[in-house]
Amino acid sequence: MTDYGRLSRAELTERLRVVEAKAAAEDVQQALRSTERKRDQAALRDSEERLRPILETAVEGIITIDERGTIESFNAAAEKMFGYEGAEVIGRNVNVLMPQPYRREHDGYIANYTQTGMARIIGIGREVMGQRKDRSLFPMDLSVSEVRLENRRLFTGFVRDITERKQSEQATRHLAAIVESSGDAIISKDLEGIIGSWNQGAQELFGYSAKEIIGQSILTIIPPSRHSEEQEIVKQIREDKRIKHYETIRRRKDGRLVDVSLTVSPIKGADGRIVGVSKIARDISERKRLEQEVLEISDREKREIGHSLHDGLCQHLAGIELMSQVLEQNLTKKSKSTATQAGKIAEHVRDAISQTRMLARGLSPVSIEANGLMSALQELAATVSGLFHIQCRFECAEPILVPDNTVATHLYRIAQEAINNAVKHGKATSVIIRLRRNLSQAELTITDDGVGLPKETCQNGGMGLQIMKYRAGMIGATLRFQAANRGGTALVCAFKMDS
């Protein structure tokens, strides 16, 4: 303890100055602390003012609770999401926003975390169910963060309603299940031809598993002779066109070719741009086999009828003609007029024999020789001219040899059906049958001067047109119709020639 009585005046003055300086310093420090407190409070108020509109305009629901689970803040997005006004839930336990069993277990989660520090939701985020004021439930994505203050801690939940996403996911799963269970092959690829999806139906049809084929080129299942078709398909898809029931041939993993009917559609991205192609392929091999069998039966019956006409009826008619000639000779001595009648009978029988032979050749037209098609078409032109009394001629500038009798027969039947349509429906008075070579293929063209095919017939096709198209498909040929120079119709059947 200082004995101030022994201090000199100067010492006392110095001691007093020190005390006053300390007091002044304490006053300054206290003033600084007060200023800092005010600045901090102002900063907090300013921060709160800046954060409040952010919280209120946030798309996500933001809910703050204390360590007991009591709601302290509830933003506008949360109000809209749960159907409560903020005043209705602030001060209540947050489990009011949860269905069972989450409601029952929630307080235990908080207590467990505060005691052990082991988080089950905090900082992790997961999908849970929320309960609205009207007791309806909805899926939500919840993430929770912890805020530690000086003397307590808060928990902030960020909530997002994922109902639409869940519905979309459910619809996607439903659609995927439909696609996967479809008996048809359903395939998607990008515009470069790389396969992106491959369902069970595609695996059964083509023999490749999804693991084997996804990421490979679509040309893997397309025979080389059909690659140009794929290029044309992609071209039409880029033009936003849909191709329905296009019949073609595809190749299985084991190398076997299979007849398929394709429906091809563009795939569009979110911005509407075409980004890929979807294909639905159906195996029509059995249908093709049955159709071929029906045609073969039809052709076989026609040949049998033709042979019967030629070998049976014509022989009988020839016998009648001979008998009529003998009768004419015998009657000449007795009655010239009666003999003349017998001669006319013989003449009519000869005409009937001629027409019967033409019909027989039409029913059984093509011989097995390589030039059989040319000969048959030449006879067809002569037969048409005689039967229908119109001009019909066959043109072939150079020999077109078709050694395959089946191919030749189908080509002949196509020409026969086209001429029948031109005469009966097109009212043609002139028909030209033309056979010519065009690079690596040949073309059979039937041109008439008729009224042309009705528009609806070209689009939908009658039975005759459908059969012609099928015959062309049977031999790998293409069939098209175009306007003729003289105002009629030209049918062009292009088929490949053996090299």
pLDDT tens, 81-114? Answer: 999 999 999 999 988 998 887 777 766 666 666 6
Number of domains in the chain: 5
Q: Is there a single domain that holds both residue 377 and residue 487?
A: yes
Residues 443-467 as b or e (16 or more Cβ within 10 Å = b): bbbbbbbbebbeeeeeeeeeeebeb
| Residue (of 494, 389, 381) closest to 443 by Cα position | 494
pLDDT score for 155: 86
Q: Assess if residue 38 is contained within a domain.
A: yes
Q: Is there a single domain that holds both residue 375 and residue 497?
A: yes
Q: Is there a single domain that holds both residue 378 and residue 460?
A: yes
Final residue in a domain of this structure, among 133, 166, 199: 166
- CA–CA distance, 90 with 81 (Å, rounded to integer): 15
Q: Assess if residue 172 is contained within a domain.
A: no
Q: Is there a single domain that holds both residue 241 and residue 296?
A: no
- CA–CA distance, 75 with 198 (Å, rounded to integer): 47
Q: Is there a single domain that holds both residue 249 and residue 320?
A: no
Which residue in the block uniquely carries the two structure tokens 């005043």?
87
List the CATH number of the domain containing 468.
3.30.565.10
Q: Assess if residue 392 is contained within a domain.
A: yes
End-to-end alpha carbon distance in the chain? 129
Burial class (CB in 10 A: 0-12, 13-18, 19+), 373: buried
Final residue in a domain of this structure, among 309, 331, 364: 364
pLDDT score for 78: 92
- CA–CA distance, 116 with 303 (Å, rounded to integer): 96
Residue 271's SS3 state is coil
Residue 168 φ/ψ, nearest 5 degrees: -65, -40
Q: Is there a single domain that holds both residue 114 and residue 149?
A: yes
Residue 259 φ/ψ, nearest 5 degrees: -80, 130
| Residue (of 227, 165, 177) closest to 201 by Cα position | 177
Q: Is there a single domain that holds both residue 156 and residue 228?
A: no
Q: Is there a single domain that holds both residue 153 and residue 193?
A: no
Domain range for residue 355?
284-364
- CA–CA distance, 92 with 435 (Å, rounded to integer): 93
Q: Is there a single domain that holds both residue 441 and residue 491?
A: yes
Final residue in a domain of this structure, among 268, 283, 298: 283
Query: Which residues, at least 6 apart from 251, have a Cβ–Cβ distance to it below 8 Å?
Result: 206, 221, 222, 223, 257, 258
The answer to whether residues 236 and 251 touch, using CB atoms and an 8 Å cutoff, is: no
pLDDT score for 354: 72
Q: Assess if residue 124 is contained within a domain.
A: yes
Residue ranges of the chain whose pLDDT lies below 50: 43-44, 47, 368, 458-460
- CA–CA distance, 437 with 448 (Å, rounded to integer): 20
Amino acid letter, 137:
L
- CA–CA distance, 467 with 444 (Å, rounded to integer): 16
Retrieve residue 61's tokens: 């629901």
The answer to whether residues 190 and 214 touch, using CB atoms and an 8 Å cutoff, is: no
pLDDT score for 89: 92
Phi and psi based region of residue 427 (left: phi greater than 0; alpha: psi -120 to 50; beta: remaining): left
| Angle ∠(212,216,220) on CA atoms, nearest 5 | 90
